[in-house]
Amino acid sequence: MGFEGTQQRTVICGHTHVQFERRLGELRILNAGSVGMPFADEPGAYWLLLDGDRYEHRFTPYDVEAAAKQIASTNYPQAQQFAEENVRKIPTAQEAMEFLEAIARKNRPSTY
């Protein structure tokens, strides 16, 4: 996906699980983060507050153990693993980036 021809000054994107602001020329690119599966330094809800042209990345802590127990008690086949690996302990943004880059290198064609 490219941003060529984008007329807006700000683009909100998602699905990376990491809060960020990036600049591409005059374009501001924001990612809210993730409420339920963040890649961050500590478990919790990472989100974005928008007010006109202003924004603020926010963090809200919650009872991680209660959330993990509730998830683990569901019928979801990988509930226990998800609760352990994505709620009780979360990957840092750096760990997630290293993991995803390793996958990309593995799947990259050897010749172009």
pLDDT tens for 51-78 read 988 999 999 999 999 999 999 999 999 9
**Kind and range of the H or E run holding 98:** helix 93-107
Q: pLDDT-derived band of residue 4, with 50, 70 and 90 as boundaries?
A: confident
Residue 21 pLDDT > 60, yes or no?
yes
pLDDT of residue 1: 58
CA atoms within 13 A on the CB side of 79: 11
Contact by Cβ (8 Å): 69, 76: no
Considering the entire predicted model, what is its pTM?
0.80
Residue 25 CA from chain centroid, whole number: 23
The CB density around residue 31, as the number of other CB atoms within 10 Å, is 20
